[in-house]
Chains A and B, each alone.
Chain A
C-alpha cells in the first residue's frame, strides 16, 4: 500500500476530476444519477462552486457564490483549464432535502444539513435522535460514495478517454459558444 501522504498528494486530481465530471453529469446526463439512488428526485449545484487552475506553477482560484449565481464564469474557467475543487450540492430524495459541500481533494462533507429531525428534550430522546441522524448522514455519504464509484469505474475504463472526455470537452466548448 502506498504511503498515505504520498497517495493523498499524488492522486489529488482524482477528486477534482470527479467533481468536474459530476457537474457535467448534473447538467447533461441527470438520468444517470438515478443509478446511485432510485429515490433520487434531483441533484443540483447549490450556492457555491470553487474552481482552480494550476498553470506554470501558479494557482488561480475562482469562487462563485450565491443562491441564484450564474455559472458562466465556471464553465469559462473550465475552458481555460481549471477543475472543480469544491461543490455545494442540493440533494433531494423522496420528500427530503440535504445540503452540503464536498471538497475534491479529500471528499470530506462540510456544512451538511439534513432534513429536519425531532427535538431532543431529554436524555432518553438522545439515542433515537442519534440513530435518526446516522440514517440521514449515511444517505448523503452513500450518494457521494456511489457517485464516486460510478466515476472511478468509468475513469479506469477505455470509455473514459474515448467517450466521456470528448463529451465533457464538447459541453465546455458549447457553453462558450452560447
Chain B
C-alpha cells in the first residue's frame, strides 16, 4: 500500500538495537543485499525483498535516494505467482496420461504422482509472471519509530524478518501492552502495576 494513497492502514513499530556507523552506508548495504529479485522466468513461486519507494518496479538505492527529510522511506515488495488450481489439475492429468501411455501400466505410484505435480507446478511457474505487492514504510531514525503501511499479518511478519536480516535490528510491534510498557514513559511502579492488571467489568449482567 502506498503511503500517498487516499486511504491507508498503519502498523507502528519501535526499532530496537544499535545500527552500525556510518548509518546511511549500513542501511544502503542492507537494502542492496536484500533488494527484490525478479522471479519471472524462474521456477520459484514467491520472493520477498526491498524496493525503492519512488520506483518500486526498478529498485535503485543509489545516492541516498531512500532519504526524505529526516526520514528513511523505502518499500517491502512481495512477489507471488498464483497458479489457478484448475490449471494445475488439467496439466497434471495430461502429463499423467502421457506417462501411463509410455509405461504401459494403468496406475502410477504416489511418488510418481508427486513428481509429476512438482514438475507441472515448476513448469507453469516459469511461464506465469509474479504479481507484485508493494508496502511502503517510513523509518524515523531519531525517534527509533517505524510506520509500515499495511495491517496484513503476512506482510508484517515478512517485514519483521527482513528487517532483522538486513539491518540486524529488531522491530518491536506496538500494541496496547507494548505501547504502555515501552513508549509512554511510565514509572517503574506503574510498569509493575501494568503487568498485574486484570479485565474490568463495566456491567453486572
Question: Which residues of A are at the interface with B, using a C-beta cutoff of 8 A?
Answer: 1-2, 4, 7-8, 10-15, 17-18, 20, 78-81, 83, 104-113, 120, 123, 126-127, 129-131, 133-134, 137, 141, 145, 148-149, 152-153, 155-156, 160, 165, 168-169, 172
Contact = CB atoms under 8 A, between A and B. Distances in A.
Contacts of B3: 130, 133, 137
Interface in B130-166: 138, 147, 151
Contacts of A83: 202
Interface of chain A, main secondary structure = helix
B203 interface: yes
Nearest to A82: B203
B184 A106 contact: no
A145 B175 CA distance: 11
Contacts of A111: 7, 9
Contacts, number: 129
Contacts of A1: 181
A-B CB proximity, top 5 nearest? A11-B177, A14-B176, A15-B176, A110-B9, A13-B199
A148 B201 CA distance: 19
B160 to A, nearest CB: 10
Contacts of B151: 106, 108, 110
Contact of B7 (A113, A127, A152): A113
A164 to B, nearest CB: 9
B102 interface: no
Give the interface centre of A1, A105, A130 by most chain B CB atoms within 10 Å: A130
